[in-house]
Amino acid sequence: MKTLNKVSKFVLILMLTLMTVSSSKAALDSKGTDFWLMFNGNVSTPVTTLFITSDVNTSGTVEVPGLAFSVPFVVVANTVTSVVVPTSTATHTNNVIDNKGIHVTSVDEVTVYGLNYAPFTTDAYLGLPTDILGTDYTVLTFNNTSTGTGVQFGIVATVNATTVTITPSVTTAGRTAGVPYNIVMNQGETYELRNNTIGNADLSGTKITSTQPIGVMGSVLCANIPTGQAFCDHICEMIPPTNTWGKNFVTVPLKSRINGDTWRILASENATTVTIGGVAQAPINAGQFINTILTAQTIITSDKPVLVAQYSNGSNFSGNPGDPFMMIIPPFEQYLAGYTLTTVSGYAAHHINIVAPNSVVGSLTLDGVPVPAIEFTPIGVSGFSGAQLTVVPGSHTLAATLPFGAFQYGFNTDDSYGYPGGLSLAPIATVSSLDVTPELDTNVVNTQHCVDGLVLDNLGNPVVGVRVDFLRSGANPGAGFAFTNANGIAQYCYTGTVVGTDNIIGSTGSLSDTVIKVWKDDPLPVELSSFASVINGTDVTLMWSTTSETNNSGFDIERSSVSGQWTKAGSVTGNGTTSEQQNYTFTDKNLNSGTYNYRLKQIDYNGNFEYFNLSNEVIIAVPVKFNLSQNYPNPFNPSTKIQFEIPVDANVKLSVYDNSGKLVSVITDGFKPAGYYTVDFNATNLSSGIYFYKLETPQYSKVLKMSVIK
């Protein structure tokens, strides 16, 4: 911040419209219909404003319940609506809980920015919606200096009775460094901790956990960047939860800056090794960070998830107009496939940095016109290229067939602004494996077929909302992407028009897997005309028809549940070679409650195969009442099956008694979630006769008779 003449008129208009150019399910991202936000203190009394935009016409409300403030708003698609909230929302008593949270709700998804404006010291942040907020954070901000003080963080609660545990990185306001303390917050309450120590005190690395989702801000009243360099400005960002941090980053310097930009890389786990431009740095532990100045495009990788921020340096250091701003840089796994960005009014120069996969260089468009390939420079061996575009004031739309990074910024005398175009917020930090299937598949040209990328965490659980990129080379080159569904599967489909072989590489972050798809002219051995399902209780009947068959040995029926793993449920014999319609059915019996996917694996006599996917998911609902069914077969020797249903989670005991009432066997005894169950009972050690089996839960009891005949 300079105390010289400075443009006093500062009207910030920020707009972000995220365009999805894939038909796949959208990832978790920075759009939402419910936000809990806050403002941190500024070195001067600020004007606090929210800027709200959407890609559709919508409406909503901005409230500050603790200040009895409420105003409605209306947004016209691809425009910005501004709402000024009370200035006192940015005024907090240090280390004290107050009630100044800002609640934004809307009918349709919106993007929200917060502007903390004061003459000579301003910054804005991207608001994160409630549905992606977490319970585990590490603060990222910047340190105090001898001329600019007030490093701080803020917390806003989304749920009543939320216990927040804070472990400050430096002793602040009586809170001892490294010693956790608890505060209990209700919905809409806010908390700010500020360190005013002259010197290099820094609250970066402060650990914050909570029992319910919260929003966390990292901020400085007025930061000097680099340390000790004039001139200072207010900086602030809303911090992503640690499960959304990543390991792979590609950087592009800010245009027109002589001495580069400051970067900060913050670790979430101990013994994290960061590599910058191919040079491994000394390992850092959780909450520690690396500061560096980069003057060229660079690759940053780490072996554990990190958070990365780019800072504009002060004009005294950079030799150019413009003072500090802070910008969160997402890992390339969190890029989006399209953006609409708007410049900030009152600035002399506006730029957009782009980080794009090499495969879309030359086809990525700005305002509908391809950006010339000459504008891009490859970023090492990352597979990405970077561009620094100078743009005229106003809105600008960018789009490509693969996700890319876009960053809007600008400079003026003693002033600057910058913000990321947007980001996905999938839990990529939990990703452990990627498996693309089928490994080899043969299809006829001019038909659409799919591959599935299964993403799991280190416990083998599916990870939802993660983007998987697919790059095709060979006879039908191209690219696309998809997001994982509830089963952790990202399905990518395309139509091959040229006979030959395609290699398809599926990748997310540093994980990749390659499969092969062969396209041929000959008609497929089996032409499927329909494939449908019918649910009857806990049974699923699959029905399919073929119009012709050639050398068809039969079909394996494969099922996948929430785990995403395909298993064989059964098989049906084919009809060899025929030109007449053939109808098939298969019943998958006695399924537990849950969601299932099915596919047919058609197998030729020579061992070749192809897959046909059922287009819909099959859902076996939870039972509506308790029930114990008659065993089958009955009479039996030596084994039988017993079915029961429980509509609620319960402790369940299933026992067998002889004709005198003596307990002879306990088949099951313990907790079970609501659902349908089938258990086996073996009577090898029992003599012929009449026996009774009894189902017991806290809410239900029933006894039925069965006969053993030997």
Residue 18: pLDDT band (50, 70, 90) is very low
3-state secondary structure of 559: strand
| pLDDT tens-place string over residues 616-645 | 889 888 888 999 999 989 999 999 999 899
What distance lies between CA 398 and its chain's CA centroid? 22
pLDDT the model gives residue 11: 29
3-state secondary structure of 316: helix
User: What residues are paired with 613 via a beta bridge?
Assistant: 599
Q: Is 90 exceeded by the pLDDT of residue 346?
A: no
Q: Is 70 exceeded by the pLDDT of residue 6?
A: no
Alpha-carbon distance of 395 to 404, in angstroms, equals 18
Structure tokens at 122: 């301003």
Alpha-carbon distance of 705 to 656, in angstroms, equals 10
Query: Which helix (DSSP H) or strand (DSSP E) does residue 602 occupy?
Result: strand 594-604
Alpha-carbon distance of 581 to 529, in angstroms, equals 9
Q: Is 70 exceeded by the pLDDT of residue 291?
A: yes
* b/e code 405-427 from CB counts within 10 Å (16+ = b): bbbbbbbbbbbbbbbbbbbbbbb
| pLDDT tens-place string over residues 360-413 | 999 999 999 999 999 999 999 899 999 999 999 877 888 998 899 999 888 887
pLDDT the model gives residue 524: 66
Residue 210 and residue 165 in contact, taking contact as beta carbons nearer than 8 Å: yes
Average pLDDT score, the chain? 89
| pLDDT tens-place string over residues 432-467 | 999 999 888 888 888 888 999 999 988 888 999 899
Alpha-carbon distance of 69 to 704, in angstroms, equals 64
Average pLDDT rounded to a whole number, residues 586-595: 89
- Could you give the percent of the chain with pLDDT greater than 90? 61
pLDDT the model gives residue 444: 81
Q: For 93, how many CA atoms within 13 A lie in the half-sphere containing its CB?
A: 5
Structure tokens at 659: 């004709």
Structure tokens at 230: 């004039």
Looking at residue 414, its amino acid is D
pLDDT the model gives residue 563: 67
pLDDT the model gives residue 4: 33
pTM of the model: 0.70
Residue 312 and residue 417 in contact, taking contact as beta carbons nearer than 8 Å: no
**Count of Cβ atoms closer than 10 Å to residue 343 Cβ:** 23
Structure tokens at 222: 């007025």
Alpha-carbon distance of 239 to 235, in angstroms, equals 13
What distance lies between CA 646 and its chain's CA centroid? 34
- Bridge pairing between strands 440-444 and 511-520: parallel
Give a three-class secondary structure readout of 223-290. Answer: ECCCCCCCCCEEEEEECCCHHHCEEEEEECCCCCCCCCEEEEEEECCCCECEEECCEECCCECCCCEE
| pLDDT tens-place string over residues 492-528 | 999 999 999 999 999 998 899 999 998 888 666 788 8
The label of the residue with tokens 């200040």 reads 67
| Residues in Cβ contact with 369 at an 8 Å cutoff, skipping those fewer than 6 apart | none
Give me the domains of the chain, ranges plus CATH numbers.
16-425 (no CATH), 429-520 (2.60.40.10), 526-620 (2.60.40.10), 627-708 (2.60.40.1930)
Residues in the chain: 710
DSSP type of residue 206:
-
